[in-house]
Amino acid sequence: MARPATYEQRTTVPKMRRGPGRQRSLRLESRPLPRPIQLPTLPHLSLRLGQLTPSRVASLVLAAAGIALLALMFGSDAFYVYTADVQGNRLISAQDVYARSGVDGTNIFKVRPSEATRRLHDLPFVKDARVSIGLPAAVRIEIEERAPIAIWQVAGASYGVADDGTVLPADGAPPGAPVIQAEGNALQYGLKLEPEVIALARRLPELIPNSQRVVFSNERGLGIVTAQGFPAYFGAKDDATAARVAVLNGLTAELKQQKIEPAYVDLRVPSRPVYGMKTTTR
């Protein structure tokens, strides 16, 4: 059945041309009223006390507590990291260690200790690192730095060298560490030398105890200055070193017998040792 239209009376003024002796007149017209806006009917929600069992009440309480806890954990400034307890550092400042870890300003629940440890291993002075966390925003960083096991002297400066060849400050080297007098230019901290060269530098003084010092040539590699005063070069790898030492001992005795004072002995190929003669100036 059609809904009857509702009408209202409105007074309007029609548009008229102005002319002499003409008056404006009013007219009445009827227009239908707009229909009222129909709002959707909301479902009727009812809460029956009989449906609130103890288990449901407990679930609701736990859910509300969980939401509140999450809001606290990720919204409270107390759970964000702004400092760390750094231990074991000597060559690296605590500020540099903390900055490199990448945990600054991070929510403690988003900190990944393994990722922070990986970043710290990228530091050249760091041998090992361990990152641990605690609530509300505690971070502990333990550093094991590389230690020099040899001294590398070049261009009038002394550097420490770790077992993996990393160049470090010279302080902290153990007593009796081999001193290598090298050719070349000054070094930068963090640069890496060949680890086998450092291993050979530690071994040669033990195999040739009467040697004067350890030397390094860019052309012939690592060597030692013998008791007779000439350098003997072994190359840059710690392989067949004992065989090279035996060849050197035999060659030294032969040169002494022939009263030959060599400028150097090259043992990089043990089966074909080479020695150079000293140049004389007149």
Per-residue model confidence as pLDDT tens digits over 174-225: 999 999 999 999 999 999 999 999 999 999 999 999 999 999 999 999 999 9
Average pLDDT across the chain, whole number: 83
- Percent of the chain past pLDDT 70, that is, above it, reads 73
pTM of this prediction exceeds 0.85? no
What CATH code is carried by the domain that includes residue 100?
3.10.20.310
**pLDDT surpasses 60 at 238:** yes
Sorting pLDDT into bands at 50, 70 and 90, what band is 53?
confident
Q: Is there a domain that residue 53 lies in?
A: no
Burial pattern 66-79, b for ≥16 Cβ within 10 A else e, equals eeeeeeeeeeeeeb
Average pLDDT over residues 65-92: 80
Are residues 113 and 156 part of one domain? no
Q: Is there a domain that residue 107 lies in?
A: yes
Are residues 140 and 160 part of one domain? no
pLDDT at 33: 46
Q: Which helix (H) or strand (E) holds 66?
A: helix 54-75
Domain end point (choices 145, 164, 183): 145
Range of the domain at 184: 150-277
Q: Which helix (H) or strand (E) holds 56?
A: helix 54-75
Are residues 219 and 108 part of one domain? no
Are residues 133 and 228 part of one domain? no
Are residues 270 and 215 part of one domain? yes
The CB-side HSE value for 90 (13 A sphere, CA atoms) comes to 12
pLDDT at 61: 65
Sorting pLDDT into bands at 50, 70 and 90, what band is 102?
very high
Average pLDDT over residues 21-47: 45
